[in-house]
């Protein structure tokens, strides 16, 4: 393999990675590290954090030690680097003692550029005394938010990393994370001793992700339509709230011809690992999962993340949807939700064992989430503002509200009917029962309580059940009534109800399910790989993808380690006819040109 050292960053970017230019702050960060200084990098998923330490690792003499919390990810990262001709290796519990000492020997002999270690390994005296004998280029601490006890991925081993500074004061340290909040940031600086380092903050916007939130009507059918219209042959994730629902939706998608696999904490570890592996190593797999499927999804070509239930908070939504489109190609964050979701999440909070203060905080988070899903403003702006980032104020043109301004209608009378129905039933009943009364349905419960005698019985037949659900959802979301969890989800009037009942104020509601026949999905669809404009190109893309998969299977690695979809798409669009032209494609460096150039050119030739 090529021995690379002491080259200029831009030359390495061109010749090894095959990319034409740096993105965002990459170049500045790389220079900063090469100059021997420490840094904290806050950059969203897919922003290009890896290059920020990989290129300095190649520019500086000696070995770069990268600390990464997930063993599964380390292997993929090392594979990717090896494919580029970079001398990298892992050092963790998957290696035998003799394999480990072989790696350590290579480190001492300057025969490795980058080593990925687990936090546990880093903290051993054996490892530390070994690296004292090595020439060290830098330390990179990936997923640095694991040092914070506020976050959800807290790893106590991370707290010990402060000793790196004491023991290796002249080796630059670079900490990286996609978690943006202020508390976590402060924790990282404090615990990793980065007070003298520089903080590089990128925008957390993910411009290639299209955000869409819709009223839940028939969720499975809505999902199927979305997949059929926009994501045939794509990989994606469908998040569900419960294990049962995961199994049910997996079955449904399979029956409709999709290669869907389940993932939840109730499956045994082997099964979970197997499904995870399929998802990473095969094309066209849909993972139907609870949030147990989280860390370690480094697949760059996840084309959609669909939510069939509300996530817990805006943070969770951003994290979960952020798993789409790491490769920068157009991707979808798609969600359906209904009033049941709000009720369910409220119940979770009420029934949890948390103390009152904590519950209050959870309720505030839920309110913010409801604000996000109900907003008529640009969703991207609402998201970014939530994270304290100011957006340009212009419409993003890549969320449902920007692409198709929300239609509203004067819902005053509908809301008055709903509120008076709540009042007449003495604020003791849930939404389903209230809707039955409004629709004039004489079911057993309605009869038992004599609710068929009420003045509000049957006064709402101008809407159907799902339309009433949408109306109630908006009534609750805007605080015109509240759900009382202490009394089993009964809807109660609020301080805001009166002015509507007395007709002092009008209420405008989203049309949502009112105009069901709207072509909403069509209008706002990302258009499958819109970059490929004709069937013949799509055909070639499929051929290249199949060939890439066969190469990957031979080597037991994920296909994206060979080439990303974005590289295949560029190959299809430019149709290189010789190695020189092939080398100009983004993502084709020296090593990949040598390994794969000829065989890919062959497929292009065969195709024409
Ligand atoms: P992160 O770790 O921030 O989630 P990665 O480092 O995995 O992101 O980078 C995301 C994707 O962008 C990768 O496929 C990477 O190869 C690609 N990438 C990073 N920097 C550049 C660049 N300067 N030019 C082209 N592609 C890049
Ligand atoms: Zn927008």
- pLDDT range class, residue 190, cuts 50, 70, 90: very high
Q: What is the CATH number of the domain that holds 431?
A: 1.10.10.10
Residue 559: CB within 6 Å of ligand 1?
no
pLDDT digits (tens, 9 = 90+) for 339-386: 889 888 888 888 888 888 888 888 888 989 999 999 988 999 999 988
Query: What span, in angstroms and rounded, lies between the C-alpha atoms of 457 and 16?
Result: 73
- Output the residue whose Cα is nearest ligand 1's atom 12: 48
Q: Among 156, 181, 201, identify where a domain stops.
A: 201
Over the stretch 74-133, which tens digit does the pLDDT of each residue have? 988 999 999 999 999 999 888 999 999 999 999 999 999 999 999 999 999 999 999 999
For residue 519, pLDDT beyond 70: no
Give the separation between CA 235 and CA 283, rounded to whole angstroms: 6
Whether 58 maps to a domain, the answer reads yes
- Which of 201, 220, 241 is the C-terminal boundary of a domain? 201
**What is the number of domains present in the chain?**
4
Residue 222 has pLDDT above 70, yes or no: yes
Going by C-alpha positions, the residue among 65, 75, 57, 60 that lies closest to residue 17 is 57
What are phi and psi for residue 578, nearest 5 degrees?
A: -150, 170
pLDDT (0 to 100) of residue 86: 97
Q: 391 and 244, same structural domain?
A: yes
Instruction: Please state the rounded mean pLDDT for residues 32-53.
Output: 95
Question: How do residues 438-488 score in pLDDT, each as one tens digit?
Answer: 999 999 999 999 999 999 999 999 999 989 998 998 998 888 998 887 777
Instruction: Note whether 396 and 499 are same-domain residues.
Output: no
Residue 2 lies in a domain: no
Q: Are residues 214 and 177 in the same domain?
A: no
Q: Give the number of the ligand closest to the Cα of residue 24.
A: 1
326 lines ligand 1 (CB under 6 A): yes
Distance between Cα 325 and ligand 2 center (Å): 17
- Average pLDDT of 194-216? 94
Q: Does a structural domain hold residue 525?
A: no
Instruction: Indicate whether 527 pLDDT > 60.
Output: no
Q: Which two tokens stand for residue 354?
A: 């948390």
Same domain? For 165 and 238 the reply is no
Q: Which 8-state DSSP code applies to residue 487?
A: G
Is 585 found in the same domain as 536?
Answer: yes
> How far lies 109's CA from each of 82, 105, 136, in Å?
19, 6, 12
Tell me: do 222 and 194 sit in the same domain.
no
506 pocket-lining for ligand 1 (C-beta < 6 Å): no
- Asked if the structure places residue 578 within a domain, the reply is yes
- For residues 58 and 52, give the distance between their C-alpha atoms in angstroms, rounded to a whole number: 11
Domain's final residue, options 159, 185, 201:
201
Residue 119 Cβ inside 6 Å of ligand 1? The answer reads: no
- Closest atom of ligand 1 to 23 CA is 23
Give how far the C-alpha of residue 518 lies from the chain's centroid of Cα atoms, to the nearest Å.
29
Q: Are residues 384 and 249 in the same domain?
A: yes
Q: Are residue 355 and residue 503 in the same domain, yes or no?
A: no
Question: Across the strands, what pairs with 237?
Answer: 287, 305
Same domain? 396 vs 476: no
Q: CATH number for the domain including 600?
A: 1.10.150.80
Answer whether 49 contacts ligand 1 (Cβ < 6 A).
yes
Mutation test of ligand 1: which of 16, 48, 53, 321 has the most ligand atoms closer than 8 Å to its C-beta?
Answer: 48
Nearest CA to ligand 1 atom 2: 49
Q: Closest-lying ligand to the alpha carbon of 10?
A: 1
Domain shared by 374 and 444, yes or no = no
- List, for residues 589-603, the tens digit of each pLDDT value: 999 999 999 999 999
Smallest CA separation from ligand 1 atom 27, residue? 48
In this structure, the dihedral spanned by the alpha carbons of residues 191, 326, 4 and 23, taken in order and rounded to 10 degrees, is -90
pLDDT higher than threshold 60 for residue 4: no
The answer to the question of residue 176 being in a domain is yes
Distance from the alpha carbon of residue 301 to the mean position of ligand 2, in angstroms: 23
**164 vs 128: CA distance, rounded Å:** 9
CATH at residue 195: 3.40.50.300
CA 581 – ligand 1 centroid, Å = 22
Residue 53 and residue 191 in one domain: yes
* Three-class secondary structure of residue 90 per DSSP: strand
pLDDT band of residue 154 (cuts 50, 70, 90) is: confident
**152 alpha carbon to ligand 2 midpoint, in Å?**
29
Instruction: Give the range of the structural domain holding residue 50, as residue numbers without chain letter.
Output: 9-201
Res. 297: pLDDT tops 90: no
Ligand 1 centroid – CA 52 distance (Å): 10
Identify the helix (H) or strand (E) that includes residue 42. strand 39-42
The pLDDT > 70 percentage for the chain reads 95
Residues 48 and 191 in one domain: yes
Ligand 2 centroid to residue 31 C-alpha, Å = 35
SS3 label, residue 423: helix
Burial of 78 (0-12, 13-18, 19+ CB in 10 A): buried
State the burial class of residue 574 (Cβ atoms within 10 Å of its Cβ: 0-12, 13-18, 19+). Answer: middle
- Kindly tell me the sign of the dihedral angle through the C-alpha atoms of 565, 570, 573, 579: negative
């Amino acid at each position: 393999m090529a021995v690379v050292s002491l080259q200029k960053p831009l030359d390495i970017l061109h010749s090894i990675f095959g990319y034409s230019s740096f993105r965002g702050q990459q170049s500045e960060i790389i220079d900063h590290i090469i100059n021997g200084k420490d840094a904290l990098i806050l950059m969203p998923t897919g922003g290009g954090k890896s290059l920020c330490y990989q290129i300095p690792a190649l520019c500086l003499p000696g070995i770069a030690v990268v600390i990464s919390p997930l063993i599964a990810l380390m292997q993929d990262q090392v594979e990717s680097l090896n494919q580029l001709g970079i001398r990298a290796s892992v050092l963790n519990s998957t290696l035998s003692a003799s394999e480990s000492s072989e790696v350590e020997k290579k480190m001492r002999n300057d025969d490795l550029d980058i080593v990925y270690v687990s936090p546990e390994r880093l903290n051993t005296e054996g490892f530390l005394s070994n690296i004292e004998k090595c020439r060290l280029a830098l330390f990179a601490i990936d997923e640095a938010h694991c040092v914070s006890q506020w976050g959800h991925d807290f790893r106590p081993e991370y707290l010990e990393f402060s000793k790196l500074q004491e023991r290796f004061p002249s080796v630059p340290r670079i900490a990286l994370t996609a978690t943006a909040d202020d508390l976590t940031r402060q924790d990282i600086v404090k615990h990793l001793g980065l007070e003298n380092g520089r903080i590089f903050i990128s925008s957390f916007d993910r411009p290639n992700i299209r955000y869409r939130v819709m009223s839940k009507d028939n969720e499975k059918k809505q999902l199927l339509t979305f997949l059929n219209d926009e994501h045939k042959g794509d990989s994606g994730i469908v998040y569900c709230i419960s294990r049962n629902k995961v199994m049910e939706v997996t079955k449904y998608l399979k029956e409709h011809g999709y290669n869907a696999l389940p993932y939840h904490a109730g499956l045994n570890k082997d099964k979970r690992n197997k499904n995870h592996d399929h998802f990473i190593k095969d094309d066209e797999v849909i993972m139907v999962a609870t949030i147990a499927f989280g860390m370690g999804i480094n697949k760059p070509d996840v084309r959609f993340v669909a939510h069939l239930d509300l996530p817990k908070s805006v943070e969770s939504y951003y994290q979960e949807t952020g798993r789409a489109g790491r490769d920068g190609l157009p991707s979808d964050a798609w969600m359906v939700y209904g009033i049941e979701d709000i009720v369910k999440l409220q119940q979770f909070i009420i029934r949890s064992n948390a103390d009152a203060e904590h519950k209050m905080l959870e309720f505030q988070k839920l309110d913010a989430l409801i604000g996000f899903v109900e907003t008529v403003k640009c969703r991207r702006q609402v998201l970014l503002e939530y994270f304290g980032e100011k957006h340009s104020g212009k419409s993003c043109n890549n969320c449902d509200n920007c692409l198709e301004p929300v239609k509203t209608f004067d819902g005053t009378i509908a809301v008055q009917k709903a509120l008076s129905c709540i009042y007449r039933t003495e604020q003791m009943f849930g939404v389903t029962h209230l809707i039955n009364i409004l629709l004039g349905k004489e079911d057993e419960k309605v009869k038992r309580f004599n609710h068929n005698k009420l003045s509000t019985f049957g006064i709402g037949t101008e809407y159907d059940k799902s339309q009433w659900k949408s109306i109630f959802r908006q009534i609750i979301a805007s605080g015109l009534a509240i759900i009382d969890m202490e009394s089993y989800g009964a809807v109660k009037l609020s301080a805001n109800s009166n002015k509507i009942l007395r007709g002092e104020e009008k209420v405008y509601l989203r049309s949502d399910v009112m105009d069901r026949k709207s072509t909403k999905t069509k209008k706002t669809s990302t258009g499958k790989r819109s970059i490929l404009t004709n069937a013949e190109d799509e055909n070639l893309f499929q051929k290249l993808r199949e060939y890439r998969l066969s190469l990957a299977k031979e080597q037991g690695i994920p296909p994206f380690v060979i080439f990303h979809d974005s590289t295949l798409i560029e190959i299809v669009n430019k149709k290189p006819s010789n190695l020189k032209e092939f080398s100009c494609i983004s993502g084709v460096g020296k090593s990949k040109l040598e390994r794969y150039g000829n065989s890919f050119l062959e497929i292009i030739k065969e195709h024409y």
